[in-house]
Amino acid sequence: MKCVYCKADVLNGDPITVSGLGPAHRGCFENSLVEQRVFRHLNLRSLPDADLRELLDMAKMEMNVREAEHQSVDLWEDDVLFC
Ligand SMILES: [Zn+2]
């Protein structure tokens, strides 16, 4: 069986079956996702500019919230240490 991406024998690598395509090496499949900019079934290349910008803003907001939560936990731990 040949890999649908590199056309080499899949048994030489880590073989998987890509639904709708056929047999492939796991590495070739993962590379193809990066090339297509697919993240968890979301194809970033298919998004209009406005949606992509909104996604970027949401990701930044989420990272800021997580960072703030992380810092407040650190402060709380410091308070406990100095009591
Ligand atoms: Zn391959």
Q: Which residue has the higher pLDDT, 71 or 8?
A: 8
82 pLDDT above the threshold of 70: no
Q: Report the alpha-carbon angle 30-59-51, nearest 5.
A: 85
Question: Given the structure tokens 């709708």, which residue do they identify?
Answer: 20
> Do 28 and 6 contact (CB within 8 A), yes or no?
yes
What is the rounded CA–CA span in Å between residue 82 and residue 78?
Answer: 6
Distance of CA 16 from the midpoint of ligand 1 (Å): 10
73 pLDDT above the threshold of 80: no
4 pLDDT above the threshold of 80: yes
Which residues neighbour ligand 1 (ion) by CB within 5 Å?
Answer: 3, 5-6, 25, 28
Q: Which residue has the higher pLDDT, 75 or 57?
A: 57
**Alpha-carbon dihedral 14, 18, 24, 25, rounded to 10 degrees:** -30
25 pLDDT above the threshold of 60: yes
pLDDT, residue 75, reads 63
